[in-house]
Amino acid sequence: MQLTVWTYEGPPHVGAMRIATAMQGVHYVLHAPQGDTYADLLFTMIERLPRRPPVTYTTFQARDLGGDTAGLFQQAAADAFERFKPQAMLVGASCTAELIQDDPGGLARALKLPIPVVPLELPSYQKKENWGAAETFYQLVRTLCAKDAPPPGFKRPAREPGSRACCNVLGPAALGFRHRDDIKAISQILEQLEVDINVIAPLGASPADLARLGEADFNVVMYPEIGFQAAQWLGRTFDQPAVKTIPIGLGATREFIQEVAMLAGTDAAAALAGTPSHSGWYSHSVDSTYLTGKRVFVFGDATHAVAAARIAAEELGFTVVGLGTYSREFARDVREAAKKYGVEPLITDDYLAVEAQVAELQPELVLGTQMERHIAKRLGVPCAVISAPVHVQDFPARYSPQMGFEGANVIFDTWVHPLMMGLEEHLLTMFRGDFEFHDAAPASHLGSNAVTAKAAPAPVAQAMSKPATVGTTWAPEAEKELGKIPFFVRGKARRNTERFAADRSVELITVETLYDAKAHYSR
Amino acid sequence: MSNVNNLRISAERGQREVFCGLTGIIWLHRKIQDAFFLVVGSRTCAHLIQSAAGVMIFAEPRFATAIIDERDLAGLADANEELDRVVTQLLARRPDIKLLFLVGSCPSEVIKLDLSRAALRLSGRFSPQVRVLNYSGSGIETTFTQGEDACLASLVPSLPVTPPDASPNLLVVGSLADVVEDQMRILLNDMGITDVQFFPPRRSTELSPIGANTRFLLAQPFLADTARALEERGAKHLPAPFPLGAEGTLGWLKAAAGAWHIDDARFRLATQPAYERALRTLGRYRDQLAGKRVFFFPDSQLEIPLARFLANEMSMELVEVGTPFLHRSHLAAELASLPAGTSVVEGQHVENQLDRCFAASPDLVVCGLGLANPLEARGLTTKWSIELVFTPIQGFNQAADLAELFARPLVRRTRLVA
């Protein structure tokens, strides 16, 4: 049993719903108790879809448990087929139905429906939402592509000279973080590279489209959390290579273009040169020098977290002080990236552990999910959202991709906006005691509701004022001097000074000790 | 199809598009301010509560889920040990908690994890600092607001006993917004009923004593088990309409006045100003709502009293009134006030109900969050039913707010031209 306050991911059947809802002509019959229909509102309220998710729930109750829940499932599947006339059906169980072991797959098979029926085995007590989405997509792809699959050991023949390459784009789903906009960004790049798109899936694809996946020359995997498993199978079965780079950020977008161009045998020059990007220049402009070395904490799904850390370090000149993910399936990628930035990776789905680390590291910017937005708000640290789990705010009305050159522009704006602007930060440092420009004053462009140092909660305040070593005390003048240091680095200054004092057996920290420590730790 | 009071009452079964009882935790944990709700369930339960709450308002709320994993399924003895460990961890984190509810879920019910024994065991260990109770909010046993019923029923045995010669006291049963409680208390005091308590209390240490001297008024229509538990303790239910709208509130207060033998003059003196003010403000919304046709999907069991209010006080036409359950005796006064011929549907077959809704093409549909946007996209105007549970709508001063909740979506549709 795990004590859970908030969860980053839903159960695996919600992942399956994200696939079914993304597609056309697929219906999911879910053996589930009354109440599990809450999942519909994720799609209709958070993503604001104008239609119900294509899901039929058996919604059994206690009185059904003594009777024929299997019959209830079969009736629901038969009725759903009759009413919705899908081209393919997914069948499975949610956590409670898994316990009563009615075998939805077998029951649905017995109906002998004239369409492909894909039984889903999604172990609810082990796995989570993204795994469920990946598994569902993979099972659908396998089932629908199987009849056209070549014999094992198939080698893809070379393309006819002069013909355009074509690829599949895999991974975008319902309830994804900017998936709709990323598809447009990716499609534009592929168009510039003169690569045709065979199928984009699951978002917008029909079962008939999935059956054509084998026709492409290669696959672009936009979101490995959802598309990697299917892409691996397609790679083995149809000898389709997969593009490894995720084009989030300027550098990654350039590498993506080169990787696609190589696979497609086209010229990358036009795509690389022809797209104006403001973010690269803005980051080089003098106004951005205030971004230098800002301490950022990054947490999200593996793909977005790794991409964000790279952008932070290489394209904005930040210092990555923490990096983590809730995607255990892709923890290895995050561990590798963490090594690059010299930080200890945080692999957890425990929201409280993430909060503790943010409080401990005291970053100047948090790049995380909606959960970290709340943590940052409590701790009074600026924050930008980079990853699912999604919130209604993560479906902006305007075009707002994360991928490609436009994605890099969006990211530059989104991350820099919550920070104090250049000269303003200097003024704050110069006039620390100013009645308007004090620690608690928010950045002027953020308005009066912006987070302030006063919002910092008691636990952190305690953590900050607790002496690092018993026997070390602060002289009143030193304490006062400490108060002149901007709030977002004050905790760090305090800890460094205390460590410095403890290492030297200094019992009373004076103003001199404070500045000695500052000199010692300065880079 | 049965025919009570000239109503067309039918029942249907099929897919139910409703929340389970766990959802009640969202308002119950705000109401009882030193209580913590620990759901013993699956990741689905945890996801449900945070999604139904819609927003993550509270950085560390007073509810959480002990997520059952594979090892817990393998052996129930270990599951009990695990539960004890999780509760110990939780209470160490939250020394401010005085009352802990272990809340059963579908999986905990199906694996027959005995939470009542766990609650006894843990109460023994943590009392007197913390009392541990249990109830089930599982979807296989409870629909949405029935979670509050199960919670309150579990709290009834903790209520102290009044002495045998105690003078009559009035208990108002069912979660109400604090502002509504305060208004009701003033009205009841003005009528001459001074010993008034509310259940649930704002703090778990302020439990009202009950006994044969206790008369109780239900403030919510979904409290079947709680009422039964109170009656078993000797308390007497005062049958009344529910305090929604000016007439409903007047009837509700009148039931208390009757039990306390308060004469008409005093009752009028205490209630007339607020009643008349409510009538005046309701008039403004009657112009917007009169003649409009409304369709209720089943949700909170508030549907019958709400339909009565809309029909009788706002002159709306009832196309269909769906309700998850129909408690005929608690709703007797409400059913008697519904217009003849009203179609009341108990239970749900969501697909058939949607077919009927589209065919009827009502002016306003009251439905859950899963259906609202899809119906809006089809050109129907909707009111989210969950807002009716989370908003203070009871009493004279809130009657117009209640009407406005129904008028707003209609007004909005007339304003938007693009």
Query: Do residues B175 and B250 lie in contact, with contact meaning Cβ atoms separated by under 8 Å?
Result: no
The answer to whether A435 faces chain B, any CB pair under 8 Å, is no
Query: Do A287 and A409 fall within a single domain?
Result: yes
Show the domains of chain B with their CATH numbers. 8-15+283-415 (3.40.50.1980), 21-142 (3.40.50.1980), 169-269 (3.40.50.1980)
Q: How far apart are CA A206 and CA A227, in angstroms?
A: 16
Are residues A100 and B110, on separate chains, in Cβ contact within 8 Å? yes
- A103 located within any domain: yes
In one-letter notation, the amino acid at residue B346 is: E
Are residues A83 and B351, on separate chains, in Cβ contact within 8 Å? yes
Are residues B370 and A37, on separate chains, in Cβ contact within 8 Å? yes
**Greater pLDDT, A437 or B336:** B336
Q: Quick one: closest CA in B to A50, which residue?
A: B374
- A144 located within any domain: no
Backbone angles phi, psi at A304, to 5 degrees: -75, -35
* Confidence band, pLDDT 50/70/90 cuts, at residue A10: very high
- Residue found under tokens 């050159």: A405
Q: How far apart are CA B76 and CA A72, in angstroms?
A: 29
- A4 located within any domain: no
Q: Quick one: closest CA in B to A128, which residue?
A: B43
Q: What is the DSSP letter of A260?
A: H
Q: What separation in angstroms does the CA of A214 have from each of A160, A210, A227, B152?
A: 17, 9, 15, 59
Query: Do A283 and A417 fall within a single domain?
Result: yes
Query: Do A290 and A198 fall within a single domain?
Result: no
Q: How far apart are CA B29 and CA B45, in angstroms?
A: 16
- Three-state helix/strand/coil letters over A267-318: CCHHHHHCCCCHHHHHHHCHHHHHHCCCEEEEEECHHHHHHHHHHHHHHCCC
- pLDDT tens track for A38-72: 999 999 999 999 999 999 999 999 989 888 999 99
Q: For chain A, what is the mean pLDDT?
A: 89
Q: How far apart are CA A125 and CA B71, in angstroms?
A: 9
Are residues A37 and B18, on separate chains, in Cβ contact within 8 Å? yes
Q: What percent of chain B has pLDDT over 90?
A: 90
- Residue found under tokens 């004593």: B209
Query: Do A286 and A407 fall within a single domain?
Result: yes
Question: In B, which residues are within 8 Å of A41 by CB distance?
Answer: 51-52, 368-370
Residue B369: CA atoms inside 13 Å, Cβ hemisphere, count?
A: 24
The answer to whether A79 faces chain B, any CB pair under 8 Å, is yes
Chain A nearest CA to B88, separation (Å): 11
Query: Do A409 and A515 fall within a single domain?
Result: no
**Which of B17, B42, B43 would best serve as a mutation to test chain A binding (most A beta carbons within 10 A)?**
B43
**Greater pLDDT, B93 or A319:** A319
- A5 located within any domain: no
Q: List the single residue in A3, A40, A96 with the smallest CB-CB distance to B89.
A: A3
- A447 located within any domain: no
What number of residues does chain B have?
A: 418
- A349 located within any domain: yes
Q: List the single residue in A34, A48, A49 with the smallest CB-CB distance to B143.
A: A34
Are residues A13 and B59, on separate chains, in Cβ contact within 8 Å? no
- pLDDT tens track for A385-413: 999 999 888 999 999 999 999 999 999 99
Among A68, A102, A127, which residue terminates a domain?
Answer: A127
Q: Where is B408: in which H helix or E strand?
A: helix B399-415
- Beta strands across the sheet bearing B236-237: B196-199, B169-173, B214-218, B236-237
Among A74, A101, A127, which residue terminates a domain?
Answer: A127
Query: Do A495 and A397 fall within a single domain?
Result: no
The answer to whether A377 faces chain B, any CB pair under 8 Å, is yes
The answer to whether A432 faces chain B, any CB pair under 8 Å, is no
- pLDDT tens track for A189-211: 999 999 999 999 999 999 999 99
**Greater pLDDT, B235 or A422:** B235
Query: Do A399 and A290 fall within a single domain?
Result: yes
Give me the pLDDT at residue A275, please. Answer: 65
The answer to whether A11 faces chain B, any CB pair under 8 Å, is yes
Burial (Cβ within 10 Å: 0-12, 13-18, ≥19) of residue A8: buried
- Beta strands across the sheet bearing A196-201: A196-201, A166-170, A218-221, A242-243
pLDDT-wise least confident of A419-433, B8-22, B48-62: A419-433
User: Which segments of B313-398 does DSSP mark as H helices, in order?
Assistant: 332-337, 350-360, 369-377, 386-390
Backbone angles phi, psi at A417, to 5 degrees: -50, -45
pLDDT of A506 over the 80 cut = yes
pLDDT of A463 over the 60 cut = no
Q: What percent of chain B has pLDDT over 70?
A: 97
Q: How many helices and strands in chain B, by DSSP H and E?
A: 17, 14
Query: Do A303 and A249 fall within a single domain?
Result: no
Question: In A, which residues are within 8 Å of B418 by CB distance?
Answer: none
The enclosing domain of A331 has a CATH number of: 3.40.50.1980
Are residues A50 and B374, on separate chains, in Cβ contact within 8 Å? yes
- pLDDT tens track for A230-251: 999 999 999 999 999 999 999 9
Q: Report which of A87, A117, A88 is spatially closest to residue A105, judged by C-alpha positions.
A: A117
pLDDT-wise least confident of A87-101, A128-142, A176-190, A369-383: A369-383
Q: List the single residue in B15, B17, B43 with the smallest CB-CB distance to A7.
A: B43
Are residues A1 and B73, on separate chains, in Cβ contact within 8 Å? no
Q: Report which of B154, B177, B169 is spatially closest to residue B212, judged by C-alpha positions.
A: B169
Q: How far apart are CA B349 and CA B345, in angstroms?
A: 10
Are residues B111 and A99, on separate chains, in Cβ contact within 8 Å? yes
pLDDT of B140 over the 60 cut = yes
**At a CB cut-off of 8 Å and minimum separation 6, what does A426 contact?**
A290
Name the residues of A annotated as catalytic.
287
Residue-wise DSSP of A209-223? HHHTGGGSSEEEES-
Question: In A, which residues are within 8 Å of B55 by CB distance?
Answer: 391
Q: What separation in angstroms does the CA of A235 have from each of A68, A183, A221, A229?
A: 43, 21, 12, 10
**Integer distance in angstroms from the first to the last C-alpha of chain A?**
45
Q: Which domain holds residue A486?
A: 467-521
Are residues B374 and A6, on separate chains, in Cβ contact within 8 Å? no
What's the rounded mean pLDDT across residues A250-262? Answer: 96
CB–CB contacts below 8 A, A to B = 187
pLDDT of B172 over the 80 cut = yes
Query: Do residues A202 and A54 lie in contact, with contact meaning Cβ atoms separated by under 8 Å?
Result: no
Are residues B16 and A76, on separate chains, in Cβ contact within 8 Å? no
Q: Report which of A355, B53, B266 is spatially closest to residue A346, judged by C-alpha positions.
A: A355
Query: Do A284 and A372 fall within a single domain?
Result: yes
In 10 A of CB B414, how many CB atoms? 9
Give me the pLDDT at residue B74, please. Answer: 83
Question: In A, which residues are within 8 Å of B140 by CB distance?
Answer: 33-34, 60-62, 64-65, 96
pLDDT-wise least confident of A24-28, A402-406, A413-417, A504-508: A504-508
Query: Do A45 and A121 fall within a single domain?
Result: yes
Q: How far apart are CA B287 and CA B314, in angstroms?
A: 8
The answer to whether A440 faces chain B, any CB pair under 8 Å, is no
- pLDDT tens track for A409-443: 999 999 998 886 666 666 655 555 555 555 555 56
- A462 located within any domain: no
Give me the pLDDT at residue A76, please. Answer: 97
Give me the pLDDT at residue A379, please. Answer: 86
Q: Quick one: closest CA in B to A46, which residue?
A: B54
Q: How far apart are CA A194 and CA A265, in angstroms?
A: 10
Question: In B, which residues are within 8 Å of A348 by CB distance?
Answer: none
Query: Do A414 and A344 fall within a single domain?
Result: yes
In 10 A of CB A115, how many CB atoms? 14
Query: How many structural domains comprise chain A?
Result: 4
* Confidence band, pLDDT 50/70/90 cuts, at residue A6: confident
- pLDDT tens track for B379-415: 999 999 988 998 999 999 999 999 999 999 999 999 9
Query: Do A241 and A288 fall within a single domain?
Result: no
- A318 located within any domain: yes
Among A249, A273, A297, which residue terminates a domain?
Answer: A273
- pLDDT tens track for A340-360: 999 999 999 998 899 999 999
Q: How far apart are CA B344 and CA B320, in angstroms?
A: 6
The enclosing domain of A472 has a CATH number of: 1.10.8.550
pLDDT of A147 over the 50 cut = yes
Query: Do residues B404 and A74 lie in contact, with contact meaning Cβ atoms separated by under 8 Å?
Result: no
Residue A405 has which token pair?
A: 């050159």
